Homo-oligomer: A and B are copies of this chain.
Amino acid sequence: MPHTLRQKIADLVLNGELKPGDRLDELSLADRFGVSRTPIREAIRQLGASGLIEIRPRRSAVVRSFDRAELSEAFEAMGEIEALCASLAAVRMNEAERLKLRALMAASQDVSARNDRPAALEMDFEFHGHLHDGARNRMLKTVAEETRLRITPYSAALYMMEGYNADLQRPHSQHAAIADAVLAGNGEGAARLMREHIAQSLISLQQFFADTQSRSDAPKVKGDAR
């Protein structure tokens, strides 16, 4: 995997080094990655089109930020898209994929028992990604991953906040319930559980914001002047 420049810059956002609202200075990034501004600019434009960052004419690009309403809309949309993936995966996944899903859940159980947050975040990605694949629809997979990507700066913060969302068991057990429905071929059930899971995530995120409003390590919210 020859990490592209685009991926390297995206990673700065996804691993939280750059938070929503932070500026992306072309020259700094160019120096950092040992290239000129030209390829940096091209990568930034691509990330702008994919919705992870915001391009503002004549001004620095910034990591995209959502206000409360936008965040809730994003989760509503993601909930429906993920629910669709889950219901299709329940019907379309082959034996090998079902086997891998089981293995994934076992690993997830282990990780959440150990309270390993970075690993849990990774498992979350893998779980949803596996359902995206299982739905057997490349356009849907693209759409699902784009949507997921856009809110990652917010949802990842939830996982990584030590002490918050103290119960790593809860998201895991929700995943497990979804996996059971998928493995049982119960598309309707999987979709319903997925909607609830995503809705639950939004609620946790909103509480997180309410609790950490004045802290400096929380992702910024649009219009949040500090």
- Majority secondary structure, A binding face: helix
Q: How many copies does the complex hold?
A: 2
Instruction: With A38-B38, A138-B70 as known contacts, state yes or no: A143 contacts B77, CB within 8 Å.
Output: yes
**A47, CB-defined interface residue at 8 Å:** yes
Task: Choose, from A24-32, A48-56, A121-129, A211-219, the stretch at the interface.
Answer: A48-56
Contact of A49 among B38, B49, B77, B81 (CB under 8 A): B49
* 8 pairs, CB–CB < 8 Å, chain A vs chain B: A38-B38, A42-B45, A46-B49, A50-B50, A76-B137, A77-B143, A80-B84, A143-B143
Q: Kindly list chain B residues whose C-beta atoms are within 8 Å of the C-beta of A142.
A: 51
CA distance A78 to B147 in the complex (A): 15
Q: Interface 1/0s, chain A 108-138, versus B by CB < 8 A? A: 0000000000000000000000000000111
